[in-house]
Structures are given as C-alpha cells and as structure tokens.
Structure 1
Amino acid sequence: MRVLVLLPVSGGLFYLALRQVGWGYLLDSLREANYWLVGLALAVGLVSHIARAARWRELLLAAGLDASLYEVFYAVMFGYACNLLLPRAGEVARCARLAELKRFPLSETLGSVVSERLSDVVVFLLMTLMAVVVSFHYFGAFLWERIVAPFMARFQGSSLWLGLTLLVGAAALLTGLVWAIKRGIFGARLRQWCGRVARGLGRGMGTIIHLPRRGRFLLYTVLIWVCYWLMTYLVCLAYPATTALPISTSYLLLVVGTFGMMVPVQGGFGAFHLAIALWLEVEGIPRAEGLAYATLSHGAQTLLLVVVAVALMVREGMRGKRRTMPPLNETAYNVATPPQQS
C-alpha cells in the first residue's frame, strides 16, 4: 500500500521539478558531464557504504553478535536496494537479511540499527546548525522560506487540528495496546513474545552506550559524512554548470540534498531533485541546470546501489546453491570403479 500511495507522490515531485524543463535539454546537459569524475565520486560512495557496514558491525559486536564485514556489507546494500522499492523498509530488510544469514535475534539487530540511525540524526542536526551559522543570510533564509514556511502553511487551521487529533489518537491507541499486552488480555504467549522483543530492542539500542571501541565508531561516522561531502563536490566538478562552485557550497548542497532524501518516497526520487534545484537557484544557477545536476548525482548513486546490490545477491545465490548441492555420486555418472584387490 505504501508503494502504491507514495509512488505517485514521488512522480508528482519529479514532475514539479521538471515541468519547466524539457527532456531533450536535460539529456543534452547530461552528455556534457565528465564521467571520469562521476566514476571517482562513485568509488568514494562505495567507501562510504563500506564504512557504514563497519560502523554497524561495531554495534553488533558490542551486542555479542559476530558477523564478518562482508556479511554486514551485503545486508546494508540489500537494505539500500529495498529502499528503492519501499521507503524506509531498508532498515528492517537489512536486519532481517543479516538475522537470516547468521541466525541472529531480529530484535537485537533492529535495536542496533535504531542506535546507528540516531547517531546519524545527531550528526545531521549538527551539520545543519553549522550550515545555518556559516551562511545564515542565504542558507537560513532558504530553509525558512522554501522548506519550513511552506510546510507550516499546509498545517494551519483545520489541518493542524486534524493532525493533532490523529497524533493523540494514535498515542492513546498505542498506550492501550501496550497495557492490554502487559495484562495478558491477548494471551500469555503474546505477552512473553513482546517481552522478548522489547528486551532485545533494548539490548540492541544500548550497545551505543557500552561500546568498547567508541573511537572506531566515531571514526567511521566521520568517514561516512566526509565521503558524502567529497562525493557531492566531485559531482559538482563533473558538471560544467557547477564546476565553479566552491567546496563550501557543496557542503550546503549535501545538507539540502539530505533533507530531500528524508522525504518518505522511493530513494528520495523527485524530492531530492526538487530540493537541489531550489538551492542551486539561490546560487544563481538556472532551474534546468540545477535539475540536470540533481539527476546526474541521484542517478549515479542509484546506479551504484543497484549494481552492487544485485552483484552481491547473485553471488550469495550462487553460494547458497553450492552449499545445498548433493555430494558427487560416482554411480549416478556411471563412473567405473577399479576392482578391489584381495
């Protein structure tokens, strides 16, 4: 249902960004890009995915869940691929895939991912605050006029009260459900199962507090976001209209693009393009050129995710077939055996 509902939203956002730009102009602009630099940006992006897998592995090890870096990397890329189909499903999908591979408790792997994502939220908030401080007149005004104010304008009057009513109703429903489960109204087995899941989630989320190697966790976190920044700057250098932009502007582009990726649509499709094009207009770059840059950046990242994820899934499928193949039987292939000597 989320795919059916959100796919038109994604298409609508992309149309909103594209409505003043022709496809022919967009394709002609993309042909002018330096794809050697785009390839280098993709290599940096691959390093960021490996660093994310290594960081998640630190949390898993702290929870007593031992998996190789390859296995964790495979699960991360599998989750990214699922995000292209169903928004926000990738976090659950990568946990389920790793739990299936290693027979880990799903609740503990989910808890570790919650901790990992919370650390990303903290880093992104700090980056946004830094962007506002460094470029208050431009970036601060952009956030307020193009993102915050339009969002608040849509939730005034009856819409605001409707949203608050739904929020309070959902909280009351969740509270009542938890109370009923604790009382055993739905049965003792469900209460015990929910208790195990809650304890597993708690243990997984608590790993970030009791990390034995916090230095590595912080190092991987910094490496992830530095790679994102460098990848953004390399794509700027690859596209003629953005080549002259300073590296500080690519930092602001990273922040704006992350806001676009946070919109719950498939892979940020449409929302990322619109956010990037709006900010580049502030930098004096026409909407068409900004959209071409966004298409180049988003398309390259999506291609990387799909190619790597498919390659890893094919490899795992072949390994699984080899593990399940029966042992070689000589009589089945009519192999003659030498006579036994007495």
Structure 2
Amino acid sequence: MKLPSKIKQIIQVTISLLIALWIFWYLYKDIEFEALLEQLYASNWGWIFASLTISVVGFWIRGWRWTLIISDKEGTPPNASRAYHAVMVGYLVNLLVPRAGEVAKCGVLSRSNGIPLGHLIGTVILERTIDLLFMIGVILLAFFLQNQLFLELANEFVNFESLWKSAMDNLPIFLGGTLVLILSLYLIGRRFRNHGLVQKIQAFFRDIAGGLKQINAIKNPLGFWLSSVAIWIIYFLTLLLVAKAIQSTAILSLGEILLVMVMGTIGMLAPVQGGIGTFHALVALILIQFGVSETDGKIFAAIIHGTQMILMVIAGLISWVWILRLTPKSKPVAD
C-alpha cells in the first residue's frame, strides 16, 4: 500500500531527528552534566552575548542581501525588515524539517508581498550558489593556513586514491546514465507538453530561471558582494567570540578558528535538524586535534550550537508572530 506523501514526510523527518539525537547522545553519553554546568558558569558570558548580538546582525544582512536580487517587477518589493523576518522563519522551520526552511521563507514573502514562489526560489538558488562559492573559498583559505592538518583530517574521512580509481572505473556508466536520463526527460516533456501538470512545471522552472537571471540585474552589486563577504566574516566572529569565552579554547589562533568554522559548516550541511550531532562531532574532532581536551571540545560545540539554536528559536518565533500580523498582499503597499 502506497503511503500518503504527508505520512512519508513525517516518517522521514522522524527518522532524521532520531538519527540526530542518537549521534548527539552517543557523543555526549560520557560527559557528566555537572561538567557542562561548571563550564557554563566559568565561561565569560559577555563574549557569548556579543557573539549572539553579531549573529543577529548577520541574519539582518542576509535578509537585506536577499532583497537585492528580488525583482521589483514581481509583486511588492520587500524591505530589509520583512526579508529578515522571512529568513528567521526559515531558520525556525529548518530546525523542524531539514531543508524546508528555504521554501518556508519564500512562502512568507510570496504571501506577504505577492511575489511568485518560483521567482523567490530562483533567487534562493542564486544565494545558495554564491554561498557555496564562498564556502569553497573559505575551505581553500583554511587549507592554505593549515594545510598539513587539513590533509591529515581529509585522509581520515576519505581515501582519495580509492575514490579517484572508483570514479574512473565507473565513468562510462555514469556518463551513459546521465545521458539516458536527460534524453528520457526530454522525450517525456515533448510527449506530454500540453498536459496541465507539465505546463505548471514548465512555468515553475521558468520562474526559477528568471530568479537566476537576477545575477545580471542586482540593484546594488557592490552591496551584494560586500554583504556576502560580511556574512562569512560574521560567522567566523561568532565562533571566535565564543572561543574567547572559554579558557581552553581562548588560545586558539585565527587559522585554527577558521578550520573550526569549516568543520562546523560541513556539519551543518548534514540532512538533520539544525546540524544536531554532526556539528558537535566535527567541531569537537578538530578541537581535539588542536590539543583541546575531548570534554572541553564537546562542551565548546554544545555551547556555540546551543546558544545559536536558542537565538534562532526565539528570533524565529518573534518573526513568525510578526509575519502572522501581516495581511497577504498582491500589489504594492507601504510597510
């Protein structure tokens, strides 16, 4: 019997959450709760609150950057405040359903500003593409600064020689399968091009393509690229400030903090709610390599991740309530 899509989604989300919680439990099962409390009391909360404050600034900048690639011809142009609240609702949803936050934040602006959902998703795809390029740049920078340790860690996770050999051995199969898939989709599209569902899908992807084209029509190119840089600098500063708050990590160099950021970013990419477990494991792993004790490394990961999650929940709920007060718009209005 075929399960309804909603039931399947609930099952997938539940499995994802259970995996995240299991990783978290396995990682912290040997850490005494008293040790965590002791570290919380000993930490400099001035630095931690500073990291949370700068995180809010980063969220606002992300919202403002988003407005720069949303076409003024599509519905009511959103201001930075409205985009910020949509971003925070997206973060809140991501804590419940992995990857659903991107669609949720687009849904918020589509409802409140009358902007086509497909166009907004196109702009988010553009944002994520730019973020991916910056992430690659950060990884390359970390490799340049900590190349020896970076290679040692990479070899622990991936056998590059075996991976390359496997890719070369299966290259004809991969290329052939890709070609067959593209050809099949093309033939299906031609055969059913007049079907209502196909036309809706085509219109949806046209909207996405329109969003991607906004890279050539950014309202403020300098502001867009500077804000993109600022987002990653702020992410680095949040980790640096929390590291300063804890005695065992306060001695880390800027290069080491950068590598911690890389590992944390990779951990957040895992398809689990809020990077629970995976973020903690990778951050603790790299800190141990820097000479931080296992307990202190795990507690650092718990503090930085926990405070950020609490911030996202509080700010996300505030933004959700704020969004609910708005009346759905289909034409320009004043905020």
Q: 1:132 touches 1:139 (CA, 8 Å); kept in 2? A: yes
Shift of 1:195: 1.9
TM-aligned CA distance change 1:256 to 1:92, over 3 Å:
same
Q: Determine if the alignment matches structure 1 residue 144 to structure 2 residue 161.
A: no
- The percent of aligned pairs where both chains have the same amino acid is 29
Question: CA offset at residue 287 of structure 1?
Answer: 1.0
Match of 1:308 in 2: 315
Q: Which runs of 5+ in 1 are unaligned?
A: 322-342
Q: Are residues 153 and 6 of structure 1, via their aligned partners in 2, closer, same or farther at CA, if it must alter by over 3 Å? A: farther
User: Between Structure 1 and Structure 2, whose CA radius of gyration is higher?
Assistant: 1
Q: 1:118-137 CA distances to partner (integer Å, 9 max, x unpaired)?
A: 00000000110111121111
Q: Deviations over 1:171-224 (max 9, x none)?
A: 856763553233227x52223212211111101011113324211110110111
Map 1:105-184 onto structure 2 (within 5 A): 105-145=116-156, 147-149=157-159, 176-177=184-185, 179-184=187-192
RMSD after superposition: 2.8
Is the 8 Å Cα contact of residues 43 and 245 (structure 2) preserved in structure 1?
Answer: yes
Specify whether residues 223 and 27 from structure 1 end up closer, same or farther in structure 2 by C-alpha distance, changes over 3 A only. Answer: same
CA gap 1:211/1:289 in 2 versus in 1, 3 angstroms: same
SS in 1 for 2:216: coil
- Which residue pairs with 2:95 in the alignment? 84
Q: Is the Cα–Cα contact under 8 Å of residues 277 and 287 in structure 1 kept in the other structure?
A: yes
Conserved in 2, the CA contact under 8 Å of 1:17 and 1:274? yes
Of 299, 305, 314, the residue aligned with 1:292 is 299
Pair 318,142 (structure 1): closer, same or farther in 2 beyond 3 Å: same
Q: Per the alignment, do residues 235 and 201 of structure 1 end up closer, same or farther by CA in structure 2, a change over 3 Å counting?
A: same
Q: Residue 42 in 1 paired to residue 52 in 2?
A: yes
CA distance in 2 between partners of 1:202 and 1:246 (Å): 43
Q: 1:67 matched to which residue of 2?
A: 78
Q: Which amino acid aligns with 2:231?
A: I
Tell me the amino acid that sits aligned with residue 36 of structure 2: L
Q: Contact 1:62/1:211 (CA < 8 Å) preserved in 2?
A: no
Aligned positions, number: 314
Matched residue type, 2:85: Y
Matched, 1:243 2:250: yes
Give structure 2 stretches of 5+ with no counterpart. 1-10, 329-335
Q: Deviations over 1:23-77 (max 9, x none)?
A: 3322322222111211110000001101111111101147655111111111111
TM-score by length of 1: 0.83
Letter in 2 for 1:292: I
User: Residues 265 and 152 (structure 1 numbering): CA distance in 2 closer, same or farther, change over 3 Å?
Assistant: farther
For residues 165 and 309 of structure 1, do their structure 2 counterparts lie closer, same or farther at Cα, with a shift above 3 Å needed? farther
